[in-house]
A and B are shown apart, each in its own frame.
Chain A
Amino acid sequence: MAYSDKVLDHYENPRNVGSLDKNDPNVGTGMVGAPACGDVMKLQIKLGKDGLIEDAKFKTYGCGSAIASSSLVTEMLKGKTLDEAESIKNSAIAEELALPPVKIHCSVLAEDAIKAAINDLKSKK
């Protein structure tokens, strides 16, 4: 399948790959999986003192679209409030990356990962 240039760019140069300390009270970790394709995605956000997301890291094992979706999301999250982060929709991710219909579920996975990370962070407060 042909990937869009944006997917290829994120796939070849993924942004913010790595991990944050999951035990840090200001770090939220979201772990989600797409059972049908065996993908697994970990997204972590770190909330700064000003209530804005100061850092975001991801680690994804999966197809190019899943990697690109999570990489893009870490860029989108930085500088946002939790409410703004929570309102990020998968359609925005899919549109930005020009994902074909069969890969929309990768953007859904990234949206789920954001929600899971925020829930984890909130449960620590």
Chain B
Amino acid sequence: MKFFEIFEIKPSFKICQNNLKKKFLELQKKYHPDNYASASDHEKTLALLNSSMINDGFEILKDDLYRAEYLLKCNKIELNNQTNPEFLIKQMEYEDYLEENSHDLNKIEMLHIEIAQILECEIEKLTILFNQKNLVEVSNKMNELIFLSKFKTKLKQRMHQTI
């Protein structure tokens, strides 16, 4: 939970992004190398370590999926490495659809909207599961979320390439 401690945020899936950002800027300023120009080598090294830890922590905490994975890790729950077979079929269908329509910007955009909506909905479900402390079910859901998130990024890239 060290990242939550660094940012003085209560360990939870739902966090206030504004708070996180504010705290990040504050900490970044505090440990900025410029403040340590005349410090000893030891202090400089320490400031550098702190600064890189702050950056890592910020990247993890600000992202819904990274934060969920981090919370699971802190609770010593491994990600399930088996994806539900029904979802694999769905995954294949999405990929096939994209391949068949790879030059149809309109269809790619529509699919992007659809995936973004599903993802949003699934993240809401994740919030509920975290509230219920049902971490095993969270870990079962993660594979689907990771795919949806990556697929959404892929669609976005395709949209830019097609334009």
Which residue numbers of A lie inside 8 Å of B, CB to CB?
31-33, 35-38, 40, 42, 59, 61
Contacts and interface: CB of A to CB of B under 8 A. Distances in A.
Query: Could you tell me the dominant secondary structure of chain A's interface residues?
Result: strand
B69 to A, nearest CB: 10
Contacts of A35: 79-83, 142-143, 146-147
Interface of B: 79-83, 85, 88-89, 91-92, 95, 142-143, 146-147, 150-151
A38 B79 CA distance: 14
Given A33-B83, A33-B143, A40 B151 contact: no
Given A35-B83, A40-B88, A61 B146 contact: no
A15 B98 CA distance: 21
Closest 6 pairs (CB-CB, A-B): A35-B143, A61-B95, A38-B150, A33-B83, A38-B147, A40-B91
Nearest to B89: A31
A59 B91 CA distance: 12
A59 B85 CA distance: 16
B146 A33 contact: no
Nearest to A40: B91
A40 B142 CA distance: 16
Contacts of B91: 33, 38, 40, 61
Nearest to B87: A33
Given A36-B146, A38-B151, A59-B92, A31 B79 contact: no
